[in-house]
């Protein structure tokens, strides 16, 4: 195997986690158990193959339509909540880095490892990183809305490698979705998929540092 010299990270649920949709529903009067259950169901169906196949991340219009339809699961309990969930949860500037993201990105930069972000997303992720002082540790951002192609399509991973100036065989992909991020293997990247963790806990990114 070629020596790894660069790493691509997924954004959502890999480096950053979303605002708490269940929390918003509780604020609006829903019982915590019900809010948690609804939120888990929404997030799980958002990660399904059927939802990913909708290509929701190539335009803002498709994104809003797909997510408000998912959030509509909560409408019988809280009328109108899907728009409010969309505004709270889907603005990536409001997402928060996992604690080990804030350690791992500087660690990689210090060692001269090139770092890129490749994301299915409909807005620029740079402001979210800048807000947490992490933008200086990322060399390139590859967004699906700019590429007009989404993960798992190998073309977006190849575009991300090109943006980083790295060859796929020397680049590690780190993500959380076998359906989306797993497409990197078809583009020739060694791929690390991390299982889900709770919001705000350690993400398990120390494993990445062991590979460089
Ligand atoms: Mg993800």
Condensed to tens digits (0 to 9), the pLDDT of residues 78-119 reads: 999 999 999 999 999 999 999 999 999 999 999 999 999 999
CA dist 5 and 1 (Å) reads 12
74 C-alpha vs ligand 1 centroid, how far in Å? 23
Give the mean pLDDT of 70-76. 96
Query: Higher model confidence: residue 2 or residue 140?
Result: 140
Predicted confidence at residue 186, as pLDDT, reads 97
Q: Measure 142 CA to ligand 1 centroid, in angstroms.
A: 14
Q: How far is the CA of 15 from the centre of ligand 1 (A)?
A: 8
Q: How many whole angstroms from 10 Cα to the centroid of ligand 1? A: 6
- State the distance from the centre of ligand 1 to the C-alpha of 35, rounded, in angstroms: 22
If you measure from the C-alpha of residue 16 to the centroid of ligand 1, how many angstroms do you get, rounded to a whole number?
9
Fold designation for 6-16+95-210:
Rossmann fold (3.40.50)
Q: Are the CB atoms for 26 and 16 separated by under 8 Å?
A: no
Structural domain boundaries of the chain? 6-16+95-210, 19-89
Q: How far is the CA of 11 from the centre of ligand 1 (A)?
A: 6
Neighbours of 51 (CB within 10 A): 16
pLDDT band at 179 (very low <50, low <70, confident <90, very high): very high
177 Cα: distance to centroid of ligand 1 (angstroms): 6
User: Band of the pLDDT at 58, cuts 50, 70, 90?
Assistant: confident
Is the confidence at residue 173, as pLDDT, over 90? yes
Gap from CA of 119 to ligand 1 centroid (Å) = 8
Return the sign of the alpha-carbon dihedral for residues 58, 38, 47, 102.
positive
pLDDT at 22: 96
- In this predicted structure, the answer to whether residue 2 has a pLDDT above a threshold of 80 is no
CA 120 to ligand 1 center in whole angstroms: 8
DSSP character string of the chain = -PPP-EEEE-SBTTTEE---HHHHHHHTT--HHHHHHHHHHHHHHHTSHHHHTT-TTS-HHHHHHHHHHHHGGGTTTSTTHHHHHHHHHS-GGG-EE-HHHHHHHHHHHHTT-EEEEEE--SS-SHHHHHHTT-GGG--EEEEHHHHT--TTSHHHHHHHHHHHT--GGGEEEEES-TTTGGGGGGGT-EEEEPPP--TTS--STHHHHHT-
Distance (angstroms) between ligand 1 centre and the Cα of 9 equals 9
110 Cα to the center of ligand 1, angstroms? 25
Q: Distance from the CA of 178 to the center of ligand 1, in angstroms?
A: 9
- C-alpha distances in angstroms, 59 versus 47, 160, 174, 199? 18, 19, 24, 27
pLDDT class for 1, splitting at 50, 70, 90?
Answer: low
Q: Measured between alpha carbons, how far is 139 from 162 in angstroms, rounded to an integer?
A: 12
> Ligand 1 mean position to 13 CA, how many Å?
5
Rounded to an integer, what distance in angstroms lies between the CA atom of residue 94 and that of residue 96?
Answer: 7
Q: How far is the CA of 113 from the centre of ligand 1 (A)?
A: 22
């Amino acid at each position: 195997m070629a020596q790894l010299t660069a790493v691509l990270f997924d954004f959502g649920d890999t480096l950053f986690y979303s605002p708490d949709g269940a929390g918003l529903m509780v604020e609006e009067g829903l019982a915590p158990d019900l809010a948690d259950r609804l939120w888990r169901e929404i997030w799980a169906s958002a990660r399904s193959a059927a939802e990913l196949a909708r290509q929701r991340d190539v335009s803002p219009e498709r994104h809003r339509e797909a997510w408000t339809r998912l959030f509509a699961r909560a409408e019988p309990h809280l009328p109108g909540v899907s728009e409010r969930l969309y505004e709270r949860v889907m603005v990536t500037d409001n997402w928060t880095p996992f604690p080990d993201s804030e350690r791992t990105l500087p660690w990689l930069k210090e060692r001269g490892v090139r770092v890129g972000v490749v994301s299915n997303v409909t807005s620029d992720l740079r402001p979210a990183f800048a807000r947490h002082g992490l933008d200086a540790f990322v060399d390139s951002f590859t967004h699906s809305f700019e590429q007009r192609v989404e993960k798992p399509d190998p073309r977006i991973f190849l575009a991300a490698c090109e943006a980083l100036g790295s060859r796929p065989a020397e680049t590690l992909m780190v993500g959380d979705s076998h359906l989306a991020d797993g497409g990197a293997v078809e583009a020739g990247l060694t791929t690390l998929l991390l299982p889900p963790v709770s919001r705000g806990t350690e993400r398990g990114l120390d494993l990445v540092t062991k590979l460089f």
